[in-house]
Structure 1
């Protein structure tokens, strides 16, 4: 009976396990990064909504009329205070955007990170450029 040559089998098994483990570790890392970005965006939107209501609390709001002058978020929450509210969003030179829109019944504060992209290509573009909104009824 002839003996089979088993050289390289351990290296091949290592590669199979390593690829699966490597993909799993990076997927967990990538989803964790997305989760902390979303939570930071929610925090930033809430901070923007809070600052807008505190500094733009006018008789219009008391009389249930939409405050038309409450859409300049840079007046109510400057960039320095945004960095304190959500510091993770500003790492690596990134800058989130914070906008305020008004309708007849509420103000909507939206925080978004347009330059955020997932590292793993398996997600596609579905999770790129996340955003979070907070509505303020009046």
Structure 2
């Protein structure tokens, strides 16, 4: 695929959004974890949410959704970070502020993901993204 015109503009905008807001949010989140300050970690989560919302706005402007690479990166990062959080919590190395910070991050990201699916595809369409009936089990007219 040779991206041209609007595809390049969208890619540059998305990269700029995540380079500035995403990494700043990650840095603030990690600083809050280091200093055991839930409020600072929550500010980092807020910046990450703002980056996600800005990415959705860019997708709306260019009349597109997330690319397969963006979706794979997001889901993969969420899974790896979730695994690290669970292993850390099971190992007993998290303070209560770290624990609440992690729960805030994963809870807000999960709610944001579901809100995106429901607003983009509707309740039935969002469910259909994950559950596909075999051809012989489908209702007539669907």
TM-score, normalised with respect to structure 2:
0.28
Q: Which has the higher helix share?
A: 2
Larger radius of gyration: 1
Structure richer in strand, relative to its length: 1
Structure 1 length normalisation: TM-score? 0.29
